[in-house]
Structure 1
């Protein structure tokens, strides 16, 4: 083996070592990169809940001026904007059900799940608290989610709409055959669609953090178990069903190494 071959071999070893180190760092809970992800999740969830719940509060305080289609558009747009803003940093989960579903399909490390969930709940609670401070007195409206019908009906609706949301996320954000650049639009449109028809029935949560934050701030916990359990089960089922039909000989995007909504260095 000549000197050039030896040098090239050493370079390859160094590159592989760097890749291995990067992968280990991305899976660790004690590094700057993970802290950046947590900040992105807190900030992203904050603005998601602030914008979406603000549209609900404003609508209640101003004779339904925003309307159901308007509220649906707000939720859809804020999801889309935030997915493109911080998707490349944290994966833009903003939702414990999504995080757990990714972990259940081995596309997110289980050891990071509890910290991600805490960050999301903190962001939601801070947003709900901000709205309560801004809209005080007679303008203090509960922007959370409550079943309009029976608990069984609410459970079924939340399961179905979260299943659809996670099914779409799995398709456009974790499969290299999809057009990754349009993932934010597809997910935002799915949220808009779900809120349009499910909003009057359950509030169209699809997100345990979205329901828990306002519940904590307003001390309103009626039916909260539905919004914690049903979306989580629906998301897990949605992820697993998509995985069952995604068979391909092409590699899949590694959520643990790159963003959920943007193709990046983790694509293989």
Structure 2
């Protein structure tokens, strides 16, 4: 179990550091910033690379919602949820702390601002309300879990799952960055809310409730589709 949880810690660290780091450090640079498209790719690439690197050790969840979805689908043992969730939360928090230290070293640093946190209402990049954020997070997490379960099933060629999963996460971000700044991952949301200014901590409940609900829905849909 130690190696599996360590792999989850490392994978979640890289997801948060790579995706949120791209948003914080590279997205808004004048003239050469990567923008929302670049941030979307960063999240997708972070999952793709770590799925290949350590997915064979832990299964490459890096996300409490994915762990729950795989459990509902019968691909993961319920007794292993707590250590996986703890490892994911610690990995995300460590990445957020690293990003905070990096940002605080910038000349004339005053505040981290929203710190790439997730939110709705005034905290939504596009001004979308709570219901919009809830629907988006549930639907997109459900689809993400369906893609994960399908890409890792016996019905598709082996070895290509990380590509499909990484591209799916990229697409999810392309859709929903304007809505909630994209969560679909409670560990990612919790990590950034710890340091963020504004309402991030107060709104964090949605970014647990919606992804976990979406994961259950996605797993149940896959169960209805699965030939087994």
**Alignment length, in residue pairs?**
214
The answer as to whether partners of 2:151 and 2:161 remain within 8 angstroms in 1 is yes
Q: 2: distance between equivalents of 1:134 and 1:197?
A: 28
Partner of 1:190: helix, strand, or coil?
helix
Q: Pick from 143, 146, 163: which aligns with 2:142?
A: 163
1:58 aligns with 2:29: no
Rg larger in structure: 1
Deviation at 1:139, TM superposition (A): 6.6
Q: 1:197 aligns with which of 155, 158, 175?
A: 175
Paired residues of 1:52 and 1:71 also in contact (CA < 8 A):
yes
Deviations 1:8-33 (A, max 9, x none): xxxxxxxxxxxxxxxxxxxxxxxxxx
2:108 aligned with 1:140, yes or no? no
Contact 1:151/1:223 (<8 A) preserved:
no
Q: Which residue of 1 aligns with 2:227?
A: 247
Shift of 1:106: 2.3
Task: Point out where structure 2 has 5 or more consecutive residues left out of the alignment.
Answer: none
For structure 1, the residue ranges without an aligned partner over 5 or more in a row are 1-33, 249-268
Q: Deviations over 1:182-220 (max 9, x none)?
A: 100000000000101111111111100010011123363
Q: What is the Cα-based RMSD across aligned positions, in Å?
A: 1.5
Q: Does 1:43 align with 2:10?
A: yes
User: Offset at 1:121?
Assistant: 0.3
Runs of 4+ in structure 1 deviating by more than 3 angstroms, as ranges, are: none
Which residue is 1:264 aligned to? none
Write the distance in 2 (CA, Å) between the matches of 1:61 and 1:237: 35
In structure 1, what is the equivalent of residue 40 of structure 2?
72
